[in-house]
Amino acid sequence: MLNRSKIDDFLTYLKGLNDLEVLVKASEKQRFSRDFFDYSPVLKAELSGCCADLVVKPLSIDAVMSVASACHRYEIPLTLRGAGTGNYGQCVPLQGGVVMLMNALNHIRNFDSYTGDVTVEAGCLLGNLNSYLLSKGRQLRLSPSTWRTATVAGFVSGGSGGIGSVRWGFLRDPGHLLALEVVTLEKCSRKIQLDAKSSEALNHAYGTNGIMTALTLSTCTAVDWQEVAIDCGDFSKALELFQICTRAAVDLFLCSLLETKIVESLPAWSGNPRGKNRLLLLVAPDGVSTLERIAKENGADFSNLGSEEKKIGNGIRELSWNHTTLHMRSLDSNWTYLQMLLPQPEIDAIQAINETWRENVLWHLEAVRQQGVQRIAALPLVRWQGYGQLEQLMTDCREVGAILFNPHVITVEDGGLGVIDSDQVKTKRKYDPKGILNPGKLKGWV
Ligand SMILES: Cc1cc2nc3c(=O)[nH]c(=O)nc-3n(C[C@H](O)[C@H](O)[C@H](O)COP(=O)(O)OP(=O)(O)OC[C@H]3O[C@@H](n4cnc5c(N)ncnc54)[C@H](O)[C@@H]3O)c2cc1C
């Protein structure tokens, strides 16, 4: 919490600004100081007490600029919030100050019908943007499984990939983010335009080095994705099938594999669990018959669930990525999770981990394209048994060759490869010289 009289002065100043809602109720400050960090018992203990001193909601870019200049002048921390669906406390104000809600800035500014590129304001919901794109014969290349509720800037700043990653890799791969409009944190805040190269340092920086007000993204041709489930009793066989599917000449948009016990914990609308491991796939219409043949040749049960178009909120997208974790946790909040890229051959690594951890780890795999190569990411469910056990499990995973993306830490670097990205830090020095934006989240700055 900051000095009361400084906050009061600041508040009086903010109340005189146009196009700005100021929220001061304790319930609002608490609500907008949280995200989904409670998926991690470690972060829950660390972040539950953090709270903003006030919350603002700008209704125009001019208001964003005024708030930015004021935070700079008064030296008050500023944390940006999209929809607040992050899992690592990305939009939790560690040092209090202001939380700025970006969701009123949500216009779609431009669509280029030749390239398919779209320019959209930061707070537009990914679901709304996708509906707009579908009307133009295009769609988003990448979305989190929270695609209906999350914002565009929140995804680019805090997310990494998800649905579409099997084809399009990850958000930080060159080609997804083409340009940014950014507001700086200076005495007289500026609104600047960044090209694709200069935008890279703000991509996945947790809003620590600039306020995104608009983004230009590439899109892909819309496809009427078909939902397919393939059930297989033996896990090794299911993994083999998973790999056959990702290597086949079919257009996939999602390919997840859930272990039997996870399938049994999914909501009733997901269908009869059948006591088997389940592959969930989004495939182009011309690939359905091939998947059916692959499943049958391998003795698995094939279900064509039809077009995903009408499955509003209850489609296989909502069973994948961290929605799988959500469903497990809604039955028993003692489950947490890890995120990793598995070494090859994946089955050897999984079996090695199972030898020690069989009772406490359940496997959830996602097919991804990593630096142009088809790989398997895992988001295993982990039964919480304390910090020491979690650390030991992470050590064991690293020992079998997995690359961990630790979801139980708060900094950009610790959640990635642990390496400081000097461009992110240089960009912060340029656009946020006093270190006002989301303090405590960029280790390289500290
Ligand atoms: C059930 C569940 C499933 C999920 N699945 C996925 C998944 O598949 N893939 C994935 O990547 N993530 C996933 N997530 C995490 C999260 O939902 C996504 O990353 C989402 O895109 C975040 O968007 P948001 O609008 O909620 O951002 P927020 O949580 O509000 O913010 C995220 C970060 O972006 C910053 N930020 C927000 N707006 C701006 C701005 N205008 N300028 C600069 N910085 C800004 C914030 O300060 C914060 O650091 C999941 C989370 C849950 C709870």
Average pLDDT, whole number, for the chain?
A: 97
Across the range 152-168, mean pLDDT stands at 98
Ligand 1 atom showing the smallest separation from residue 206 Cα? 49
Q: Per-residue pLDDT tens for 105-128?
A: 999 999 999 999 999 999 999 999
Q: Per-residue pLDDT tens for 318-337?
A: 999 999 999 999 999 999 99
Q: Is 396 helix (H, G, I), strand (E, B) or coil?
A: helix
Give the dihedral sign, CA 148/250/403/196. negative
Residue 88, Cβ neighbours under 10 Å: how many?
25
Q: What backbone phi and psi angles, to 5 degrees, belong to 415?
A: -80, -10
Confidence grade of residue 313 (pLDDT, cut at 50, 70, 90): confident
Query: What residues pair up with 111 in beta bridges, in sequence order?
Result: 118
Q: What is the model's pLDDT at position 27?
A: 98
- Cβ of 118 closer than 6 Å to ligand 1, yes or no, is no
Residue nearest to atom 37 of ligand 1 (CA): 154
Q: What is the model's pLDDT at position 333?
A: 96
Q: Per-residue pLDDT tens for 354-412?
A: 999 999 999 999 999 999 999 999 999 999 999 999 999 999 999 999 999 999 999 99
Compute, in angstroms, the gap from residue 195 CA to the centroid of ligand 1: 22
Q: What is the model's pLDDT at position 311?
A: 82
Q: Per-residue pLDDT tens for 258-269?
A: 999 999 999 999
Compute, in angstroms, the gap from residue 155 CA to the centroid of ligand 1: 4
Give the dihedral sign, CA 30/35/40/43. negative
Q: Does residue 1 carry a pLDDT above 60?
A: no
Contact 163, 223 (CB under 8 A): no
Q: Tell me the C-alpha to C-alpha distance, in Å, between residue 445 and each of 243, 414, 427.
A: 41, 13, 10
Across the range 212-235, mean pLDDT stands at 98
Q: What is the model's pLDDT at position 92?
A: 98
The answer to whether the predicted template modeling score (pTM) of the entire model surpasses 0.75 is: yes
Ligand 1 pocket test, pick from 35, 40, 50, 91 with the greatest ligand atom count within 8 Å of Cβ, gives: 91
Residue nearest to atom 45 of ligand 1 (CA): 207
Q: Which two tokens stand for residue 176?
A: 């997804």
186: CB partners within 8 A, 6+ apart? 68, 69, 72, 431, 433
Instruction: Quickly tell me which residue has 């960029």 as its tokens.
Output: 442
- Cβ of 203 closer than 6 Å to ligand 1, yes or no, is no
Ligand 1 atom showing the smallest separation from residue 438 Cα? 47
Give all strands of the β-sheet with 211-217 in edge-to-edge order: 108-111, 118-121, 211-217, 177-183, 191-194
Q: What is the model's pLDDT at position 310?
A: 80
Q: Is 272 helix (H, G, I), strand (E, B) or coil?
A: coil
3-class SS shares of the chain: helix, strand, coil, % to 5? 35, 25, 40
Q: What is the model's pLDDT at position 7?
A: 85
Q: Does residue 338 carry a pLDDT above 80?
A: yes
Residue nearest to atom 27 of ligand 1 (CA): 154
Q: Per-residue pLDDT tens for 262-293?
A: 999 999 999 999 999 999 999 999 999 999 99
Across the range 17-42, mean pLDDT stands at 97
Contact 284, 308 (CB under 8 A): no
Q: Does residue 32 carry a pLDDT above 60?
A: yes
Calpha distance 429→445 (Å, rounded): 8
Confidence grade of residue 65 (pLDDT, cut at 50, 70, 90): very high
